[in-house]
Structure 1
Amino acid sequence: MPHPPTADRSGRVVATLALAGVTAAIMQTLVTPLLADLPKILHTSASNSAWVVTATLLVAGVCVPITGRLGDLVGKRRMLLVCSVPLIAGSVVCALSSSVVPMIVGRGLQGIGMGMVPLGIALLRDVVAPEKLSSSIALVSASMGIGGGLGLPIAAAVAQYTNWRFLFWGSAVLAAAVAMLIYALIPDVPAAGKGQRFDVLGALGLGVGLVCLLLAVSKGADWGWGSGTILGLFVAAAVVLVAWGWFEWRTTDPLVDLRTTVRPRVLLTNLASVFIGFGMYASMLVVPQLLQFPAATGYGLGQSMLAAGLWLLPGGLMMMIVSPVGGRLTNARGPKFTLVCGALVLAAGYGVSLLLSGTAPGLMVAVMIVNSGVALAYGAMPALIMGAVPVAETGAANGFNTLMRSLGTSIGAAVVGVVLAQMTTTVGGFTFTSENGFRTGLLIGGCLALVSAIIAAFIPAPPPGQDDARHPAKPGAGAEAGTKTETGTGTGTETGTKTGTDAGSVAVSN
């Protein structure tokens, strides 16, 4: 492993990667204040304008694991710079759009750049000193939530008081600034998987399977869950993903090494990630609507979009505050303990939301607790993953874990969306989601947070000396060939020899 940079340089690296994550998250929440006005802005129907959101989801789901694997093969810094290009281009295309097709294209380009976060987390393993790694992972991992919490009120203010195009021009400038910082401050670390081939067929298979699955999940409510199109998409997703798994298990240099993925430590972490993603998104879907629903309903709080965003702002700030605490907790007790704590805090936040849903300050407190749990959990999951996979697979493994979180949020959006759509009431001739509908959505989020805590509790203990990402896992099947000497600057003096199944040995000195 390359020598980590000095403390001063290391701080700049972490800050840059965190800013990259915040930027990627802002791209996702950018259009939220515009959703109601998009049909008029783009001269199209509401169903067509919904693709502005769906396009980013689909493209990000397909590209995140691919960019993660490419980071392992050609270098993570290089791929970070590559991801910044579609972020900039997509923002410019959206800013210039006056119809729905170019807007969808621009949003799709922005989705390609979502791979910045897992790439940045994987890069930390190469460039940050071991004693600072846990807190750095926690901050960069939580940057997606931080960006969402900060981006929503900022976007709402810009949309309310200026022209909507300034949202995208501003995001283009921010993405360009991040690209320059990456170029200037991020060290160029040799690719751990250099010499391995890129699994083109695996990438295509995963892409097709994920598009079918995510499209069915995200459009099921609009097209009808029992419609032939949705059922056909689910069947196609199942067939393609099973075939993809069969192929990946047997090929050399796979896009996702399933032999590593099925290790209990990795498998249970990814499974917990799905439920954490579901739990996080339930509050994101319910709380803003409660804040903005008319007070005449008896339970809505009648806040404007901007006011609602400001009430949610402390939740984003809490993620920034709690992330370093999670890193220190991981150093002291291990990432499994931090993940369990995060899931329990997340569940507690939903309990508070059920008790205090009648006031804006009460919902603000609940969101602060929920986001604190998310910050703890999101910081622990990459540490668990990277402590269980070979160095040459960190980018792909983190990309796959990010995909699991995204699947959780997509499924959460679909399930909670169905609940909110089915449990309704009529006030003044208009149909609204009922109070019981919102409470049911919050209850589902809390229960699934508890499920994630139970799953995390069964994550097995690591082998001695491999308690987190500071101690790379032994290469198993598909381990990189050749002989490498990796030297770290940790506080220990342990020296061992690692043998992969392909060839060679890896001498690791920590």
Structure 2
Amino acid sequence: MQSLVIPLLPELPGLVHASASGTVWAITATLLASAVATPVAGRLGDMYGKRRMLLASLGLLVVGSAVAGLSTTLIPLVVGRTLQGLSAGVIPLGISIMRDELPPERLGSATATMSSSLGVGGAVGLPTAALIADHASWHLLFWISAGLGVLATALVLRLVPESQARTGGRVDLVGAAGLSTVLVCLLLAISQGADWGWASGRTLGLSVVGVAVLVAWGRWELRARQPLVDLRTSARRQVLVTNLASVMFGVATMPVRLVQPQVLQLPTATGYGLGKSLLVTGLVLTPTGLVMMAVSPLSARISAARGPKTTLMAGAVVIAAGYGLGVGLMSAIWQLMMVTTVIGAGIGLAYGAMPALIMAAVPISETGAANSLNSLMRTVGAAIASAVGGAVLAGITITVAGATVPGQNGLRVAMVIGGAAALLALAITTFVPRRRPPASADA
């Protein structure tokens, strides 16, 4: 869902009769909606049933895809993309169901594979969307996603049992509204700050409101009898440190996605661009997600033998090594593919370890909320990296044939930022307790 409309962006203003700045909301709306929906869906899953919320999320995906598929103007397209974003809780909900249903010997590999599927979807989606957009109506992209959503819903109904582990209680509506306000304000300021100006009234105003509401929300959650997010559980050392590291891993996953498409698509007249099509670009980036899936069993084995902390640290080292290679290797397709493969392997190791660390530190009744919060941390990190990387690429430019394009030094700086984020994640992970027994259900 995140990469679905990327191939359409250059033509989207003409397709929906809107400005280029307006059509960016086809991506921004999905980002904001997914950030808001992920923690809320996780908490509701703990309260009312994870399978039920999984089906609700898939239902939103199908409806959103149909709305976007029928759209001919910007507003219904953004509405459809927002509904698609609201389905983002499927990954943490699925991991939580696995904890409830699978025997311990299967849980590690299953959750590692599920977590890694985040990368597979994005990597495979880009070339697939580019191919369809080049040879068929752009509406077909959304009808295919709707069909896949219907198929997933049927499979869940047929194969996935409902977990009996529930907390009950009432929905913390104030907490949900407060967290939604915080996320929308801060992520909107981060994602749009470069276009609006970092010192503009809108950016600063949203930032101030977001921070003020965050403080008030935190006080409310600490006092609420049944909070949306149990901050006391989230403050446990293993959970807190893992979430902080997850922010840095989210930062570390983005620069390669920003830099390599630029290198592949920039004209050869720049001296470093390869002048390739969007379809070729998508195919070059595909190994990132496929390698993530391929290394997920290795991630589970390392976690079983040495603990998920070791796996998370190994992932950070591999990602940093990949960015180290990427700073110098960007002059040929094989070099770019090697860099994406190494970085994808590191992300796969890390993403497979995060759910294990979280689930080992929280009671089973809070699995959905805890996994969703961890997923949210990665989203926040990716949004920060996108904003920072975009500012770097916009600030270090050259002019070719009258057009301003990112300079090679800017591309290298962005790769250095990715490597530095991975090393910072490594440093943070050292503070995770080496091993601790799983929390009991009444912890």
- Among 261, 284, 302, the residue aligned to 1:288: 261
For 1:67, give the aligned amino acid.
Answer: A
State which drifts further: 246-255 or 404-413.
Answer: 246-255
Paired residue for 2:95, among 121, 136, 141? Answer: 121
Q: Alpha-carbon deviations, 1:270-310, whole Å to 9, x = none?
A: 00000000000111111111111111100111110001111
Mapped to 1, the partners of 2:29 and 2:393 lie a distance apart of: 23
Q: CA deviation at 1:315?
A: 2.0
Query: Does the 8 Å CA contact 1:269/1:385 hold for their aligned counterparts?
Result: yes
How big is each residue's C-alpha offset from its partner over 1:117-176, in whole Å with a ceiling of 9 and x where there is no partner? 010011110111101111111000011101111111111111111111111111100011
Are the equivalent residues in 1 in contact too, given 2:98–2:107 (CA < 8 A)?
yes
Correspondences of 1:143-154 after superposition (within 5 Å): 143-154=117-128
Q: TM-score, normalised by structure 1?
A: 0.86
What is the match of residue 134 of structure 1? Answer: 108
- How far did 1:390 drift? 0.8
Pair 1:362 & 2:315 matched = no
Question: For the pair shown, which has the larger CA radius of gyration, 1 or 2?
Answer: 1
Aligned to 1:16: none
Deviation at 1:457, TM superposition (A): 1.3
Aligned counterpart, 1:85: 59
Residues 277, 114 of structure 1: alpha-carbon distance in 2 compared, 3 angstrom cutoff: same
Kept in 1: contact 2:165–2:364 (CA 8 A)? no
1:413 aligns with 2:395: no
The aligned counterpart of 1:492 is: none
Aligned mates of 2:251, 2:342 — CA distance in 1: 16
Per-residue deviation, 1:192? 2.4
Gaps of 5+ in 1: 1-26, 480-499, 501-510
> Counterpart of 1:157?
131
Q: Distance in 1 between matches of 2:211 and 2:286?
A: 39
Uncovered stretches (5+) of structure 2, i.e. residues with no partner: none
Q: 1 or 2, which has the higher helix percentage? A: 2
Structure 1 counterpart of 2:169, which letter? Q
Match of 1:171 among 140, 145, 152: 145
What code does the residue aligned with 2:139 have? R
1:453 to 426, 429, 438: 426
Deviation string for 1:190-243 (max 9, x for gaps)? 1421x3222111001101111101110111011111001110000000000111
Q: Distance in 2 between matches of 1:133 and 1:461?
A: 19
* Cα displacement (A) at 1:76: 0.6
Q: Secondary structure at the match of 1:114?
A: coil
Amino acid at match of 2:178: G
Distance in 1 between residues matched to 2:67 and 2:322, nearest whole Å: 39
What amino acid is the match of 2:242?
T
Shift of 1:461: 2.7
**1:448-507 residue CA offsets vs partner (Å, 9 max, x unmatched):** 1110011011112343xx1xxxx3x146xxx5xxxxxxxxxxxxxxxxxxxx5xxxxxxx
* Deviation at residue 368 of structure 1 after TM alignment: 0.6
> For residue 32 of structure 1, what is the amino acid of its counterpart?
I
C-alpha separation in 2, matches of 1:66 and 1:198: 9
TM-score (ref. length: structure 2): 0.99
* CA positional deviation for 1:189: 1.5
Question: What is the CA–CA distance in structure 2 between the aligned matches of 1:242 and 1:280, rounded to whole Å?
Answer: 29
Equivalent residue in structure 1 for 2:83, among 103, 109, 115: 109
Verify the 8 A CA contact 1:71 1:191 in the aligned structure 2: no
209, 216, 223: which is aligned to 2:196? 223
The SS at the match of 2:434 is: coil
CA contact (8 A) 2:186 2:210 kept: yes
In structure 1, what is the Cα distance between the partners aligned to 2:134 and 2:64?
Answer: 22
Q: From 176, 188, 191, give the equivalent of 1:203.
A: 176
CA separation in 2, counterparts of 1:127 and 1:377? 23
Q: Matches of 1:278 and 1:241 in 2, distance apart?
A: 21
Match of 2:20 in 1: 46
Contact 2:100/2:165, CA 8 A, preserved across alignment: no
* Matched letter for residue 102 of structure 1: P
